[in-house]
Amino acid sequence: MGRGSFYAAYGSKRELFQRVLGHYQADSAALLRQIESKHRGLAALDEFVRRTFLEASAQRLRRGCLLVNSVVELEGVHPDLHDESTRHLRQLDRTCLRWLKEAERRAELRPGLTASTLTPLITSLLFGLRVDARSGESREALAARWETFLSLFAETNVKGGQP
Amino acid sequence: MGRGSFYAAYGSKRELFQRVLGHYQADSAALLRQIESKHRGLAALDEFVRRTFLEASAQRLRRGCLLVNSVVELEGVHPDLHDESTRHLRQLDRTCLRWLKEAERRAELRPGLTASTLTPLITSLLFGLRVDARSGESREALAARWETFLSLFAETNVKGGQP
DNA sequence: CAGGAAATGGACCGTCTGGTACATAATGTG
DNA sequence: CACATTATGTACCAGACGGTCCATTTCCTG
């Protein structure tokens, strides 16, 4: 793409990046909606992780998550873009909370655990897995971590429960 | 510091960065050793997290972890530095495994859990917490997540256990 | 085929960067 | 005090960057 057409189309590199962020976020939201239409509770969460981490190509996996990378890289340098990225991430957070509340209602959580305490922990772990991905960890290793994690808080009768 | 003295002392920016990585890693290792001399098993792990995340100033917290930031930012751009960072991180991994094995021996882990399956999960979560820190999450929020996590795999009689 | 819109490839500009060279000043030591 | 070492500020270089401008070409449509 020529320089001229680029700036005619997008105005500046910054604007392009913001557009990309928007697209990424829109795609993620679409995925969440699609999953939500087919699964509920912990099954939805598990499906999301499977789709996000385990079905990605090795190359795509190594690229990590655009939003997480942005949060890490833009802090201090581009505060507005950094904030925009974290805002987008929090949206994923809200969906996760919704799923967990459903799971709570369905008694898929081990006794004593609540959706509101578990949700931030889950999103933190997902951040961690995305860093792992970028550090070159294999799909299998990531999957194992996720299954272990799931087994820690899921009732034994649901998928991923502890034997 | 003047330009001249800088290049006389460090050779290049790259070399300086490598030195900084080395120092950071050495400091971390020293902290690990110090903790290991006073605590064992899950107590050591908990102390480490407390010292790393909860005692840091708000500014230092927001800077996150140099190694994690490097892994995220240097992937693809500076493969050698990226690899060096991940190598350093894996060293922390090994220490964590040692602590968990001790915890296993002392029956501090919930039944059915093993050190070798738990350790990678823990380091992933720690990565996630460092991203959270960089995204501006508060010390309290981070502490809450950690306590929740600990309660998921710690025996109820040890610190952080579930009531 | 003709004509207008859109895409292209460069030439060009100011600025920032890592890095060098050097002349000058500060510093420590006999 | 004198001397060698070390640090400093500055001028300078080459290259990359984001961005603009424009002449030329491509492409779609009447």
Which nucleotide lies at the shortest CA–C1' distance from B6? D7
Best of A67, A74, A125, A150 to substitute, by most chain B Cβ atoms within 10 angstroms, is A125
Per-residue pLDDT, B161: 42
Per-residue pLDDT, A132: 96
B91: tokens are 């060293």
Backbone angles phi, psi at A149, to 5 degrees: -60, -50
- Nearest CB to A125; choose among B63, B128, B136: B128
Backbone angles phi, psi at B46, to 5 degrees: -65, -40
B152: tokens are 């998921």
Residue A163's pLDDT band (cuts 50, 70, 90): very low
Indicate if the pLDDT at residue B162 is higher than 90: no
CA dihedral B48, B49, B51, B56 (to 10 degrees): 150
Q: Determine, for residues B124 and A128 on separate chains, whether the beta-carbon distance falls below 8 Å.
A: yes
Q: SS3 of A119, please?
A: helix
User: What percentage of chain A has pLDDT greater than the value 70?
Assistant: 96
Per-residue pLDDT, B2: 80
Which nucleotide lies at the shortest CA–C1' distance from B14? C18
Q: Determine, for residues B131 and A75 on separate chains, whether the beta-carbon distance falls below 8 Å.
A: no
Q: Give the whole-angstrom CA distance, residue A139 versus residue B112.
A: 24
Q: Give the whole-angstrom CA distance, residue B48 versus residue B83.
A: 24
Indicate if the pLDDT at residue B46 is higher than 80: yes
Q: Give the whole-angstrom CA distance, residue B23 versus residue B12.
A: 17
Q: Give the whole-angstrom CA distance, residue A153 versus residue A161.
A: 8
Give per-residue pLDDT as tens, B89-99.
999 999 999 99
Q: What is the largest CA-CA distance in chain B?
A: 62
